[in-house]
Amino acid sequence: MKHLLISFFLLGLGFSQSKVTIQDNEIEINDNEAVVEVLGMVCSMCAFGIGEGFSKTDFIDKSKFTDGVSVDIDAQYVQLGLLDSKNVNPEKIVQVIEDAGYDVNLLFILQNEKLTKLSTDKLGILQPVAFNFTSNNN
């Protein structure tokens, strides 16, 4: 019975996480997280500005990563912890990146077990990309 309960618990976790790909890097994303491919983020000072921007928002879960933000300059992405209580508007995430001086290429948000993928078009407008949620699949 105990093992059965653990199995159900693990199965539940499985449906609330997935993997996404940014520049050939496979990244694990959990429920209430976002992964953003940031164009132009080439140095630690660039990344610092992005982290500062997110620290002033009301939708970041600061218990995850480092104050809610994980930066990978090599792979050019930031991963964000999102508050469970907030249904985060993707435009708010994009605004923080742009206020730091950078551009968003791809944005993945996993909330309420729904994975959303958006990309910036040639006009710089964020557009949803057809994307079926499958556990542990991109």
Pick the binder of another protein from 20, 53, 68, 118 (CB under 8 A). 53
Q: Does 84 bind another protein (CB under 8 A)?
A: no
Q: Does 73 bind another protein (CB under 8 A)?
A: yes
**Residue from 8, 14, 2 nearest 135 by CA:** 14
Shortest approach of another protein to residue 70 CB, angstroms? 9
Return the SS3 of 70.
Answer: strand
**Residue from 83, 118, 78, 82 nearest 100 by CA:** 78
Shortest approach of another protein to residue 95 CB, angstroms? 10
Nearer Cβ to another protein, position 30 or 120? 120
Nearer Cβ to another protein, position 49 or 90? 49
Q: Does 123 bind another protein (CB under 8 A)?
A: no
Q: In angstroms, what CA-CA distances link 107 with 1, 5, 24, 82, 100? A: 40, 34, 15, 14, 16
Shortest approach of another protein to residue 105 CB, angstroms? 7
Q: Which positions ≥6 away from 16 have C-beta within 8 Å? A: 30, 31, 110, 113
Q: Does 99 bind another protein (CB under 8 A)?
A: yes
Pick the binder of another protein from 46, 86, 113, 138 (CB under 8 A). 46
b/e 35-45 (16+ beta carbons within 10 angstroms → b): bbbbeebeeee
Question: What are the residues binding another protein (CB under 8 A)?
Answer: 23, 39-50, 52-53, 56, 71-74, 76, 98-103, 105
